[in-house]
A and B are shown apart, each in its own frame.
Chain A
Amino acid sequence: MSFQKNIMIVGVGGQGTLLASRILGEVLLSQGYDVKVSEVHGMSQRGGSVVTYVKYGSAVASPIIDKGEADVILAFEQLEAVRWLPYLKLGGKLITNTQRMNPMPVITGVAEYPEDLLALLEGAGVDLLTLDALALAEQAGSVKAVNVVLLGALARQMEFGEEIWQDAVSRTVKPQFAAMNRRAFEMGYRGQSVAAN
């Protein structure tokens, strides 16, 4: 029987979604799956809404994920979680950072950032996991590690052991940031702060 899982990573250009999808891709590759990862380059990387698709299974055809097809959406920002919600399969899981980033129409005052998005998501019966990845990243040593914290949260929902992930993190980030990123990953994985060692 053919098997396939579809994961979407959504966020704001500059938040490091590409690195997260790259590490995820490496983990899946090391587990022997057929893997496809679709990235965004170019215009939208300049602070726009960005999305990466990661698909794996016995044989993956299309590299993109369409409405109603994602098993998991990992959102780096609340508004982006809601924007991409229609892509979630019925019964799929939404993992979201609680961070809010105002888009330009909100900054210039022509639009409002909708309130209580997390409660609305819960109310709509979405299978939701939230975490304050920004705070955890700060505790791990850098606000830039938000992406690795969130990857940790995603990893917890998947079937491979923590060490496989940590190895991929260490291989992908610059050596001088490896320890900090490993810590960030662990915080995401446990959903809480862990002491530096």
Chain B
Amino acid sequence: MSKALLLGNEAAARGLYEAGCRFASSYPGTPSTEITEEAAKFEEIECEWAPNEKVALEAALGASIAGARSFCGMKHVGLNVAADPLFTASYTGVNAGLVIAVADDPGMHSSQNEQDSRHYARAAKILMLEPADSAECRDFMKLGFLLSEQFDTPVLLRLSTRVSHSRSLVEPEQRVSAEEKPYRKDSGKYVMMPAMAQKRHVLVEQRIEAQRTWANSAGINRAEYHSKKIGVICAGINYQYAKEALRENASYLKLGCVYPLPDALLKEFCAQCGEVFVAEDLDDYIEQHCRALGLRVHGKDRLPLVGELSQSLLRKAILGEALPAKALEVPIPGRPPVLCPGCPHRGLFFALKKRKVFVSGDIGCYTLGALAPLQMMDTCICMGASVSALHGRNKANPQNAKNSVAVIGDSTFMHSGITGLINIAYNKSNSVVVILDNSITGMTGHQQNPTTGLTIKGDPTAAVSLEKVCEAVGISRVTVVDPYDLQATEDALREALAAEKPSVIISRRPCVLLKYVKTKPALVADASACTGCKQCMRIGCPALSFQGNKAAIDAAQCVGCGVCAQLCRFSAIKGGLAQ
């Protein structure tokens, strides 16, 4: 087969196919999402979006124990959610191979924190591989399955934004049909209660020792010697940055396995080279290990702990050089991401703004409601925290319940909002939770979820009824509004906040970017009727602007949602729902 230009994530999916993987269960999260989306295109792989990462990993482990090579993918923070099964999966080990991909986001292109997932490998004592380009994404995925079965362990595949979302060349290979591994009952291995787990922990420590020996001779950990004046220890994308910055003016110890680290190789490389640098994003994970071995290396004394590295940072830190660059001496306004024209979240946030409430926020497209001009979010922590933290706020002072709401998307509610809602009902706070149901997982690029009635492959399936779930957990006040209707949305909020019991408002309208959503013709602003009051500008729609002192609507962007028209007291905006 001829070479293809594949995203790291596409190549990882190709690796799943070629390795004979039969089951994949994941929860979306940038930059990991495309692995499972691409894997779903192969008929041979049974693929699913799970409601969250914990469920996904447990499903994948179950399939592995049943005998199918299995996969689970997530972003870095997803591993926090899946940490509970992760630590014990280390003890049970596997039957057929199990690979867990975790994609870090140094620089936080699309994340709420910058945690370094390598610590999980060490803490859970699970072997971790780190590819540096698309070809390695495919190769390491396949190797991961072999190592998983050889050492009876789950294997972590650590990706990062630049590896996941860069395209490079991959030569596709054939799929191997992995042999069936029949399940054999073995309670000493799979039933983790104290007596059994105590024995398994001993095996885990022995396994790590065996892996250490393997790591020192594994082909994926290799020294490349050129000039030995400078040596660079690196893994993943930082190998590429270092090569670009230093070419043949340095030697490289490229680590394909970042846990356990190959002690003998590290010592040998440091002995061979003059000045040695550890080039790693985020924490000083490899550097600390080198120091513990008594090796003298540079690392975070020259490089930042914050943000992603780059070839120019390495050039500067190691060679003290910078390339010349030109800039214009003009102030350049920023261009933050925005809610799309016609986004159903906009109307809801505007209604919240009018009521001047405290908003316990969550993660999704609707987090953009925190930015100007809406600025209607007070907190955003992690998926599901909107609901649980609102409960805490209202317990701290019951009066808060009169002017505070939680906002949470449909996918996020399925992920980890339900448990918070159960807590509200059970522990009795008069909290108001708004579920922004746009019928899709929007932020990560339109994945199906348990509320949409479709599977990852687009097949019809059972759809969770948000109304019934809320009622079933003990919320008797559940209302549904259309966020394009500003008055109705505001009324629903006012009534819920006044009620002496917990409420859920389902703000329901599908994302305008969904293919089946029919948009309306663009609205027009009538300059003769416009008084220039700028009321319409308060909703922060990118299709609206002021030209001179009159409102103007960009026909290429406007989808006719009519929200702005409802704000115009002079009927200067025509068309759409307003008519």
* Chain A residues close to B by CB (< 8 Å): 12-14, 25-26, 29, 34-49, 60-64, 66-69, 79-80, 82-83, 85-90, 102-114, 117, 120-121, 124, 126, 143
Indicate if the CB atoms of A108 and B372 lie closer than 8 Å.
yes
Cα(A83)–Cα(B331), bound, Å: 10
B483 at the interface (CB under 8 A from A): no
User: Which residue from chain B places its CB closest to the CB of A134 in the assembled complex?
Assistant: B556
Partner of A62, one of B5, B241, B323: B241
Cα(A121)–Cα(B373), bound, Å: 31
With A61-B244, A103-B333 as contacts: A40 and B168 at CB distance below 8 Å: no
Minimum distance in angstroms from B73 CB to a CB of chain A: 14
Cα(A62)–Cα(B308), bound, Å: 13
Residues of A within 8 A of B30 (CB): 41-43
CB-CB nearest 4 A-B residue pairs: A68-B323, A42-B110, A42-B30, A63-B166
Residues of B within 8 A of A117 (CB): 328, 330
Indicate if the CB atoms of A46 and B165 lie closer than 8 Å.
no
Indicate if the CB atoms of B328 and A39 lie closer than 8 Å.
no
Cα(A46)–Cα(B443), bound, Å: 9
Within 8 A of A (CB), among B331-361: 331-340
B377 at the interface (CB under 8 A from A): no
Indicate if the CB atoms of A103 and B334 lie closer than 8 Å.
yes
Partner of A86, one of B237, B325, B335, B540: B325
Indicate if the CB atoms of B340 and A46 lie closer than 8 Å.
yes
Residue from B162, B338, B365 with most neighbouring chain A CB atoms (10 Å):
B338
With A25-B167, A35-B168 as contacts: A63 and B162 at CB distance below 8 Å: yes
Cα(A132)–Cα(B373), bound, Å: 31
Residues of B within 8 A of A25 (CB): 5, 167
Partner of B323, one of A36, A41, A67, A106: A67
With A46-B339, A46-B340 as contacts: A113 and B240 at CB distance below 8 Å: no
B544 at the interface (CB under 8 A from A): yes
Cα(A156)–Cα(B160), bound, Å: 35
Within 8 A of A (CB), among B4-38: 4-5, 7, 30-31, 33-34
User: Which residue from chain B places its CB closest to the CB of A103 in the assembled complex?
Assistant: B335
B243 at the interface (CB under 8 A from A): yes
Residues of B within 8 A of A120 (CB): 328, 330
* Chain B residues close to A by CB (< 8 Å): 3-5, 7, 30-31, 33-34, 109-110, 133, 162, 165-169, 237, 240-241, 243-244, 310-312, 322-328, 330-340, 365, 368, 371-373, 443-445, 537, 540, 542, 544-546, 556
Indicate if the CB atoms of B169 and A62 lie closer than 8 Å.
no
Minimum distance in angstroms from A15 CB to a CB of chain B: 11
Indicate if the CB atoms of A124 and B328 lie closer than 8 Å.
yes
Residues of A within 8 A of B7 (CB): 39
Residues of B within 8 A of A110 (CB): 372
Residues of A within 8 A of B443 (CB): 42-43
Residues of B within 8 A of A102 (CB): 542, 545
Indicate if the CB atoms of A40 and B542 lie closer than 8 Å.
no
Indicate if the CB atoms of A126 and B244 lie closer than 8 Å.
no
Partner of A35, one of B169, B237, B325, B331: B169
User: Which residue from chain A places its CB closest to the CB of B557 in the assembled complex?
Assistant: A14
**Given A66-B311, A109-B537, 20 more contacts at CB 8 Å?**
A12-B335, A34-B169, A35-B169, A38-B162, A40-B165, A42-B110, A43-B110, A45-B337, A45-B445, A62-B311, A68-B323, A68-B325, A69-B311, A82-B332, A85-B327, A102-B542, A105-B333, A105-B334, A107-B544, A124-B326
Residues of A within 8 A of B337 (CB): 13, 43-48
Indicate if the CB atoms of B340 and A64 lie closer than 8 Å.
no
Partner of B340, one of A12, A47, A60: A47
Residues of B within 8 A of A83 (CB): 332, 335
Residues of A within 8 A of B4 (CB): 29
Indicate if the CB atoms of B368 and A88 lie closer than 8 Å.
no
Indicate if the CB atoms of B330 and A36 lie closer than 8 Å.
no
Residues of A within 8 A of B336 (CB): 48, 103-105
With A61-B244, A90-B324 as contacts: A104 and B166 at CB distance below 8 Å: no
Indicate if the CB atoms of A37 and B5 lie closer than 8 Å.
yes
With A34-B169, A62-B241, A108-B373 as contacts: A46 and B334 at CB distance below 8 Å: no
In the complex, 20 of the A-B residue pairs with CB atoms within 8 angstroms, ordered by the A residue number, are A26-B5, A29-B3, A36-B167, A37-B5, A37-B168, A41-B110, A47-B338, A47-B542, A61-B240, A63-B166, A63-B167, A64-B162, A66-B310, A68-B323, A68-B324, A105-B372, A108-B372, A108-B373, A111-B331, A114-B331
User: Which residue from chain A places its CB closest to the CB of B132 in the assembled complex?
Assistant: A61
Cα(A36)–Cα(B312), bound, Å: 18
Minimum distance in angstroms from A29 CB to a CB of chain B: 5
With A43-B443, A49-B335, A108-B537 as contacts: A36 and B165 at CB distance below 8 Å: no
Cα(A154)–Cα(B243), bound, Å: 28
Residues of A within 8 A of B328 (CB): 82, 85, 117, 120-121, 124
Residues of B within 8 A of A64 (CB): 162, 166, 310-311
Minimum distance in angstroms from B575 CB to a CB of chain A: 19
Residues of B within 8 A of A35 (CB): 5, 167-169
Indicate if the CB atoms of B372 and A48 lie closer than 8 Å.
no
Residue from A38, A41, A79, A86 with most neighbouring chain B CB atoms (10 Å):
A41
Indicate if the CB atoms of B311 and A39 lie closer than 8 Å.
no
User: Which residue from chain A places its CB closest to the CB of B34 in the assembled complex?
Assistant: A41
Minimum distance in angstroms from A115 CB to a CB of chain B: 9
Partner of A29, one of B5, B33, B330, B333: B5
Residue from A42, A111, A113 with most neighbouring chain B CB atoms (10 Å):
A42
Minimum distance in angstroms from A20 CB to a CB of chain B: 14
User: Which residue from chain A places its CB closest to the CB of B75 in the assembled complex?
Assistant: A42
Residues of B within 8 A of A38 (CB): 162, 165-167
Cα(A46)–Cα(B239), bound, Å: 31
Indicate if the CB atoms of B109 and A44 lie closer than 8 Å.
yes
Residues of A within 8 A of B325 (CB): 67-68, 86-88, 90
Cα(A103)–Cα(B332), bound, Å: 10
Minimum distance in angstroms from B340 CB to a CB of chain A: 6
Partner of A113, one of B33, B333, B339, B371: B333
Residue from A49, A66, A79 with most neighbouring chain B CB atoms (10 Å):
A66
Minimum distance in angstroms from B319 CB to a CB of chain A: 14
Indicate if the CB atoms of A104 and B169 lie closer than 8 Å.
no
Cα(A66)–Cα(B312), bound, Å: 6
Residues of A within 8 A of B339 (CB): 46
Cα(A86)–Cα(B337), bound, Å: 22
With A37-B167, A44-B109, A120-B328 as contacts: A79 and B335 at CB distance below 8 Å: yes
